[in-house]
Structures are given as structure tokens and as C-alpha cells.
Amino acid sequence: MSSAQSAQQATPAIATWEVQQQLPKVDYGQGCYVYDQDGKRYIDGSGGPAVFSLGHAHPEVNAAIKDQLDRIAHGYRYTFTSDPLEELTAMIAESCGGGLKHMTFCSSGSEAIESCLKIALQYHASLGKPERCRFIARERSWHGNTLGALSISGFLDRRAAFEGALAPASLLSPANTYRPPEGVFPEDVAAFCAQELENEILRLGADKVAAFIFEPVVGAAGGCVPAPPGYAKRVREICDRHGVLMIADEVMCGAGRTGTWRALQHDGVEPDIMSVAKGLAGGYVPLSAAIYHERLRGPMYQRFGGLLTGHTFTGHTLGCAAGVAVQKVVRRDNLLEKVRENGILLKRMLSDALGDRPYVGDIRGRGYFLCVEIVKDRATKEPYPRDRMVYQKVLRQSFANGLICYPVGGNVDGKRGDIVIISPPYIATPEELVEIVEKLAKSLGQVMTSIG
């Protein structure tokens, strides 16, 4: 590689480092607002990266965390169980419904995904089928930063530096009706993508496939792309027919973000294994979970004596206490119903403010998990060239205008494509939604005027 090529490849990292040095220092948060040390106020229109389900400094959650700290921070899982751990386990099992009754707790979405993969492998091994070790996922997906999660993620920029170390996995077409696979009509996307899954299972050999993993509503990699109607049920039937486990990655879209506690609940489907993270403890303490169906537990415990995945901080007592506090507020205040109802309002507000603009290609999503896709040509859906870095400009301009949103690039082919995710805290009021939309509309207008 030439020195010029090396410099060119290093530029994005240098740029990111320089940007980080210029970030303001956060001071405090209150509800849907964050304040920096200069006193500037930002409305949190994306809940960070769709994390802060109850906003910031919720008094009941803070009190629960302080109370737990006064008792003990963590009872190590091989030494003790705890009330918060047992209470949160029961709450999640009830929220999931059906057979999703068992779980292991972790500290991040990536860890939860790793545990989901390991549970799938352990289950097949417990049946005497260790050769079932291949995973199938989709392009334009994001499952996490660890090597296992990266291996099943279709996010080119985030994979590139690690390709040589990633495990083999099959990546299928995105199930996106706005950008269907070539030659496929939008109304046929569900059938096409489901059949593509079955074809890949047969190509690999069903006896080699452990699981199919997908995001019911794709997050950062695609921009709040819901599963097309009927898709999830077809996938469920195919997986059952071939003995392949279905894993739902609900790290970003789960725990109520789309208006139902399980995102796949909307589609009338139950997975075998699922991950949940961001909204679970609302960002107050790092917490995630890998949840699995009761029919998987018996064989694994009989063959191996227990679940063979976990970490030092699995079932962290303080994390579980935070999760219990967050989930109690979500239940008591009927926040899932609020997200469903106000999500319709928010989507309509975005459509009214932005729908006629020539650079807005699509406005999509569910609940408080919505996205605006920016295009250069609305008729052809052509994205802006990668080097225009539209999403970065939207990020900076919105921030300057006092709005925290979540723009991402590369949603079309891994390189081109610009989206802006709006995923406010569940507690956001209609007035705060108006402020978010107005500031986003202003920021987009400024950016698009500047780039012509």
C-alpha cells in the first residue's frame, strides 16, 4: 500500500478524533433535555442512540439506584442471587409472554448478541448436532461490535478493519420495501426475502445451520425499517420446517421502542431467542439480556448442566435494580400505549413538515423509532455521493441548533445513503415532539441549502 493510500484510509479516523476533541462537555440532564457546561440546552430527539427511554435524571430511577448502592452494588452471580435479579427476570418474562421465560443478563447489546449466538450453538450441541454452527443474517443490519456480532452484521464501514478475523456467515438481501431487491416489486419483498432465506438454508444444508438472526425493525444500518407484512411469519415457518432457530435482535427496537414490548409482537411472531438492551434500563446503568424459549432450556441443562455463557457482571445487581425501576415506570405510566399513540402523531408531524421536500425520500418506522431518508433524486431514489457526507452535516447542524438526533451513512449499499433517526424518550410530550420536528426541519433546510 502506498503512503498516499495509507493517508487516505487514515483520514476518517483522524477526522473522528478531531471531532471528539471538539465535543462539548455534558453537565446534566433533565427529562428530554441535556445541558452542556456552557449552559447550552439540547432536546434529546433520539434518546442518544435510542437508549434513554425515560429521559434523564428520572427521580424514581435515581432513587432506586441510590438505594441499591447503599445496600450492595453487586452480588456475584456464582455466589448470590438477588431481589432485583429475580424481580427483573419475572417482569421480562411477563412482558415477553409465551415461552420466552429464561434469560441471562449482560452489560451491552453486543454481549447480549454474543450470548444469543452461544445459546443457539449450545442448544444444537445438546441435541448432538454440533455441526449446526452456521448463521444466516442480512445485509444492512447491525448486531454489535464484538467479533461474533460483527460477523453477522451487514455494515460495511464498521466491518472493514476486522474482515480477516470474522467468522463466515451468510448475508441476505435487506427486507426493505422502499429499496427492494433488484427486479422485485415492493409488495413482493416479504415473499422474495423469505424464499431467499430458505434457498440459503438448502444451499448450506439445513443440518449445518444454527440460526437466522434479524432485526424486526432495522436500526442504524437501515434506518428504522420495519419487517414487511407477512415476512416474519414466513420466516418463522421456514425456520421451523428446517430446525433452524430464529433469533430476533431487539437491542435497539425492543423494550417498548416501537410501541410493543417485543418488536416482533407487532408481527404476531415469537422467536426462539431474542436480545434486548438499550431501553431496558434506559441508559441509567449498562444492562442487556439474552432471552430464550423454555423449550431450549431442558436439553441444554440436561446435557451441560447449565447455560454456558456469562460474564463477571452477568446479572449485575445495580443494573437489574435500575432495570426494575425503569420497567415499573413504563408499566405504571402506560408508556407503551403513549409511544404507540404519539408515535403516529410524530410520524404525521414529520410527514407534514418534511414530506414535500425534494430531498426526503422516505419517512418510516414504528412508535418512537422513526427515520427520514435523504436522497439526491426523489424520483429515482438516488442517494447523495458518499463524499458529500450529508449525514455528518445534518448531525453537526442539528447539534448547533440544539437538537440531538441520530444521523447515519451508508444505508443504501454500505457506502452511500443518508438517514436521520428520531427516537425520543417515551416520556416526550406532544410539545416536545413539536420542538424536535421544528429543529430537525430547520437543520435539514440549512444543510440542503448549503450543499445545493
CA–CA separation, 171 vs 144, rounded Å?
A: 15
For residues 194, 192, 374, 420, the Cα torsion angle rounded to the nearest 10 degrees is: 0
Look-up: residue for cell 419517512? 363
CATH number belonging to the domain at 10-57+334-451, selected among 3.40.1080.10, 2.40.160.40, 3.50.50.60, 3.90.1150.10: 3.90.1150.10
What confidence score (pLDDT) does residue 19 get? Answer: 52
pLDDT at 344 over 70: yes
What confidence score (pLDDT) does residue 79 get? Answer: 95
Rounded to an integer, the average pLDDT of 236-264 is 98
Look-up: residue for cell 407503551? 336
For residues 69, 75, 77, 81, the Cα torsion angle rounded to the nearest 10 degrees is: -90
Give the model confidence (pLDDT) of 209-237 as tens digits. 999 999 999 999 999 999 999 999 999 99
The CA–CA distances, whole Å, from 228 to 117, 175, 177, 188, 328 equal 25, 7, 7, 9, 32
pLDDT at 10 over 70: no
Q: Model confidence at 452, in pLDDT bands (50, 70, 90)? A: confident
Strand partners, 226: 217
Look-up: residue for cell 434529546? 44
CB 257 within 8 A of CB 226: no
Q: pTM for the complete prediction?
A: 0.94
Q: What percent of the chain has pLDDT over 70?
A: 95
Q: How many beta carbons lie within 10 A of that of residue 281, not counting itself?
A: 31
Check if 10-57+334-451 and 72-332 are the same fold.
Answer: no
Give the model confidence (pLDDT) of 300-342 as tens digits. 999 999 999 999 999 999 999 999 999 999 999 999 999 999 9
Rounded to an integer, the average pLDDT of 411-432 is 96
Q: SS3 for the chain, per residue?
A: CCHHHHHHHHHHHHHHHHHHHCCCCEEEEEECEEEECCCCEEEECCHHHHCCCCCECCHHHHHHHHHHHHHCCCCCCCCCCCHHHHHHHHHHHHHHCCCEEEEEEECCHHHHHHHHHHHHHHHHHHCCCCCCCEEEEEECCCCCCCHHHHHCCECHHHHHHHHHHCCCCEEECCCCCCCCCCCCCHHHHHHHHHHHHHHHHHHHCHHHEEEEEECCEECCCCCCEECCCCHHHHHHHHHHHHCCEEEEEECCCCCCCCCCCCHHHHHCCCCCEEEECCCCCCCCCCCEEEEEEHHHHHHHHHHHCCCCCCCCCCCCHHHHHHHHHHHHHHHHCCHHHHHHHHHHHHHHHHHHHHCCCCCEEEEEEECCEEEEEECCECCCCECCCHHHCHHHHHHHHHHHCCEECEEEECCCCCCCCEEEEECCCCCCCHHHHHHHHHHHHHHHHHHHHHHC
CA–CA separation, 290 vs 16, rounded Å?
A: 32
CB 84 within 8 A of CB 317: yes
CB 137 within 8 A of CB 154: yes
pLDDT at 61 over 80: yes
Segments making up each domain of the chain, as ranges: 10-57+334-451, 72-332
The alpha carbon of 328 is separated from its chain's Cα centroid by a whole number of angstroms, namely 22
Amino acid (one-letter) located at 43: I
What confidence score (pLDDT) does residue 5 get? Answer: 39
Task: Return the C-alpha cell found at 163.
Answer: 474482515
CA–CA separation, 119 vs 294, rounded Å?
A: 12
What confidence score (pLDDT) does residue 9 get? Answer: 38
**452 or 226: which leads in pLDDT:** 226
- End-to-end, the C-alpha distance of the chain in Å comes to 36
> What b/e string do you get for 403-436 counting C-beta neighbours within 10 Å, with b at 16 or more?
bbbbbbbbbbebebbbbbbbbbbbbbeeebbebb
pLDDT at 278 over 80: yes
Q: Say if strands 217-218 and 225-226 run parallel, antiparallel, or are unpaired.
A: antiparallel
Give the model confidence (pLDDT) of 185-199 as tens digits. 999 999 999 999 999
Q: Say if strands 403-404 and 41-44 run parallel, antiparallel, or are unpaired.
A: parallel
Give the model confidence (pLDDT) of 364-374 as tens digits. 999 999 999 99
Give the model confidence (pLDDT) of 316-326 as tens digits. 999 999 999 99
Among the listed residues 146, 195, 189, 196, the one whose alpha carbon sits nearest the alpha carbon of residue 171: 196
The CA–CA distances, whole Å, from 218 to 104, 221, 254 equal 23, 7, 11
Give the model confidence (pLDDT) of 24-38 as tens digits. 999 999 999 999 999
Q: Model confidence at 22, in pLDDT bands (50, 70, 90)? A: confident
pLDDT at 448 over 80: yes
Q: What is the mean pLDDT of the chain?
A: 94
The CA–CA distances, whole Å, from 102 to 96, 97, 115, 291 equal 10, 11, 13, 6
CA–CA separation, 68 vs 316, rounded Å?
A: 11
Q: Say if strands 134-138 and 170-172 run parallel, antiparallel, or are unpaired.
A: parallel
The alpha carbon of 12 is separated from its chain's Cα centroid by a whole number of angstroms, namely 24
Task: Look at domain 72-332 and name its CATH class.
Answer: alpha beta
Rounded to an integer, the average pLDDT of 244-271 is 98
Rounded to an integer, the average pLDDT of 26-52 is 98
pLDDT at 4 over 60: no
Task: Return the C-alpha cell found at 207.
Answer: 443440518
